[in-house]
Amino acid sequence: MEKMPKWVDVALIPLINLFLALVVSGLVVLYIGESPLEAIAIMVNGAVGSTYGWGYTLYYATNFIFTGLAVAVAFQARLFNIGGEGQAAIGGLGVALVCLALPWPHWTLALPFAVAGGALFGAAWAFIPAYLQAKRGSHIVITTIMFNFIASAVLVYLLVNVMKKKGSMAPETARFPEGTFLPSAYDMAGWIGLTFSRSAPLNITFFIAVLCCIGVYILIWRTRLGYQIRAFGQSEPAALYAGISPVKTTVICMLISGGLAGLMGVNAVMGEAERLVIDSVQGAGFVGIAVALMGRSHPMGVFLAGLLFGMLYQGGGELEFEKPAVSREMILVIQALVILFTGALDNMVRMPFERLFGRRKPKSPSKPQPPAGDKTHKAAEPEPVKP
Interface of this chain with another protein, residues 135 to 194, rule: CB under 8 A: 136-139, 141-143, 145-147, 149-150, 153-154, 156-157, 160-161
Window contacting another protein (CB under 8 A); options: 171-179, 243-251, 302-310, 369-377: 369-377
If the CB atoms of residues 128 and 225 are measured against another protein, the closer one turns out to be: 128
Give the type of residue at 369. Answer: Q
Q: Please state, in angstroms and rounded to a whole number, the distance separating the CA atoms of residues 309 and 307.
A: 5
Asked if residue 234 lies in contact with residue 385, where contact means CB atoms within 8 angstroms, the answer is yes
Nearest distance from C-beta of residue 62 to another protein, angstroms: 21
Cα–Cα distance measured from residue 263 to residue 306, given in angstroms and rounded to the nearest whole number: 15
Please report whether residue 386 would count as binding another protein according to CB under 8 A. Answer: no
Q: How far is CA 329 from CA 92, 122, 217, 324, 334, in A?
A: 25, 28, 33, 11, 9
**At a CB cut-off of 8 Å and minimum separation 6, what does 158 contact?**
93
* 351 lines the binding site for another protein (CB under 8 A): yes
Distance CA(331)–CA(45), nearest Å, equals 16
Indicate which single residue of 51, 87, 234, 335 sits in contact with another protein (rule: CB under 8 A).
Answer: 335
Residue by residue, DSSP assigns 89-153 as HHHHHHHHHHHHHS--S-HHHHHHHHHHHHHHHHHHHHHHHHHIIIII---HHHHHHHHHHHHHH
For another protein, the closer of residues 218 and 348 by Cβ is: 348
Spatial contact of 55 and 188, defined as CB atoms under 8 Å apart: no
**Contact (CB, 8 A) for 365 and 380:** yes
Question: Coil, strand, or helix at residue 230?
Answer: helix
Options 23, 329, 355, 357; binder of another protein; rule CB under 8 A: 329
The DSSP-derived string for 289-335 is: HHHHHHTTT-HHHHHHHHHHHHHHHHHHHHHHHH-TTS-TTHHHHHH
Q: Return the residues of window 80-99 that contact another protein according to CB under 8 A.
A: 80, 82
What is the Cα–Cα distance from 69 to 179, expressed in whole angstroms?
29
Q: How far is the CB of 143 from another protein (least distance, A)?
A: 6
> For residues 214 and 325, which CB has a smaller minimum distance to another protein in the complex?
325
Compute the least distance from the CB of residue 286 to another protein, in Å: 7
- Using CA atoms, how far apart are residues 254 and 125, in angstroms rounded to an integer? 10
Query: Is 277 near another protein (CB under 8 A)?
Result: no
Return the number of the residue (224 or 360) whose C-beta is nearest another protein. 360
* 178 or 329: CB nearest another protein: 329
- Return the range that interacts with another protein (CB under 8 A); candidates 190-198, 202-210, 295-303, 331-339: 331-339
Nearer to another protein, 218 or 372 (CB): 372
Q: Contact with another protein (CB under 8 A): which of 343, 353, 383, 386?
A: 343
Q: What is the binding site for another protein (CB under 8 A)?
A: 28, 31-33, 80, 82, 128, 132, 136-139, 141-143, 145-147, 149-150, 153-154, 156-157, 160-161, 286, 289, 293, 325-327, 329-333, 335-337, 339-340, 343-348, 351, 362-365, 369-374, 377-380
